[in-house]
Amino acid sequence: MILVTGGLGFIGSHAVRALLDLGEECVVVQRRARALPPVLEGEPVQVEQADITDREALLAVGRRHDITGIVHLAGSYPWPPVPDAPIEATRKALDGLLNIAEAAQEWGVRRLGIASTIGVYFGAENDGLLREDAPLSMTAGVSIPTFKKVGEMLGGFLADTTGVDIVNYRISGTWGPLGHLDPFFAAPALVRAAAHGTAADLGHLLHPAYAEDGLDLTYVKDTGRAIALLQLADTLNHRTYNVGSGRATTNAQISRALKKAVPDARVDLDAGGGAAPHLVLDISRLTTDTGYHPEYDTDRAAADYIAWLRAGHEN
């Protein structure tokens, strides 16, 4: 049985869906009680309400279930990005990560996978595809990549010293059902505008969006399947894997795909952008070790997401 922290959330629910499709049983840990999301309705998913920063509550889950692997997708970073009590928020983030590692050791799990982010590459040299062995900058402009870099280093130390197989998932920009408006890229907001017949409101973005801005975007169903494949692979040859599409997707491409599904969609952006190199992940490690290939191109992803929203689902 695979334990998934944050398993009822955006990426987590799709990872659970993929694990179920591959024949695994799953138990999810959520801090707050909530109903199963639509992608998991009717499935035999066991839900445990526990805060991963509560060591005893987390370890007790392993006494009620035969846990063979862990996929850790709950946020191990302060939220909001600038918390009112930064020291206490940092302590909780580190406690959650350490508690998960302790649980993995105590339960004797086969593999512990930990979510990282494409954001760790911000500031790194970018001359094309971003590879897992690229030197990373020691600084980061926002809290999430800062804590993910720290988490990767701690995970490496713990893997070496505890014998637990700890694997990092550097997850690309991800969009799709159950997703939220993202401050770093425009795709979710553009899809919502197309689905609901409104003009795109991009006021939540940290920077203005232009047509040729782009990065590695992965449809969440592909992201979830990649994580499941990494968890279940017989042998992994590396400790860190990029989880992405392996290609750049620009806002202009998103807009064209949306207009194929909704011809009158008001999703055009001002020309420009694209001056900085797009962040694109090299996924050759992932493909070689798991056989993963993305199943959703931009057109298919846009049509599927619009259909989801128009079926009455909300994120």
For the whole model, what pTM was predicted?
0.95
Q: What is the pLDDT of residues 186-216, one digit of tens each?
A: 999 999 999 999 999 999 998 899 999 999 9
- CB of 272 closer than 8 Å to CB of 211: yes
Q: Is a pLDDT exceeding 90 seen at residue 138?
A: no
Lateral strand order in the sheet of 240-243: 46-49, 26-30, 2-5, 69-72, 111-117, 166-171, 240-243
Q: Is a pLDDT exceeding 80 seen at residue 127?
A: no
Q: What is the pLDDT of residues 71-81, one digit of tens each?
A: 999 987 766 66
Q: Is a pLDDT exceeding 90 seen at residue 32?
A: no
Specify the pLDDT at position 315. 60
Question: What are the structure tokens assigned to 3, written together?
Answer: 């334990």
Residue 82's pLDDT band (cuts 50, 70, 90): low
Distance CA 218, CA 220 (A): 6
The DSSP 8-state label assigned to residue 38 in this structure reads G
- Which whole number is the average pLDDT over 298-310? 96
Residue 275's pLDDT band (cuts 50, 70, 90): confident
Lowest-pLDDT range of 31-45, 50-64, 187-201, 256-270:
31-45
For 188, the 3-state DSSP assignment is helix
Q: Say which residue, 228 or 126, is predicted with more confidence.
A: 228
Residue type, position 110, single letter: R
Specify the pLDDT at position 236. 98
Tell me where in the chain the CATH 3.40.50.720 domain(s) lie.
Answer: 2-173+218-243
Question: What are the structure tokens assigned to 246, written together?
Answer: 């392996």
Reference 89, options 71, 75, 103, 70; nearest CA is 75
Q: How many Å from the N-terminal Cα to the C-terminal Cα in the chain?
A: 28
Distance CA 238, CA 286 (A): 9
Specify the pLDDT at position 188. 95
Distance CA 16, CA 7 (A): 6
Residue 15, classified by CB atoms within 10 Å of its CB into exposed (0-12), middle (13-18) or buried (19+), is buried
- CB of 24 closer than 8 Å to CB of 53: no
Fold classification of 2-173+218-243 is: Rossmann fold (3.40.50)
Distance CA 131, CA 140 (A): 18
Residue 180, classified by CB atoms within 10 Å of its CB into exposed (0-12), middle (13-18) or buried (19+), is exposed
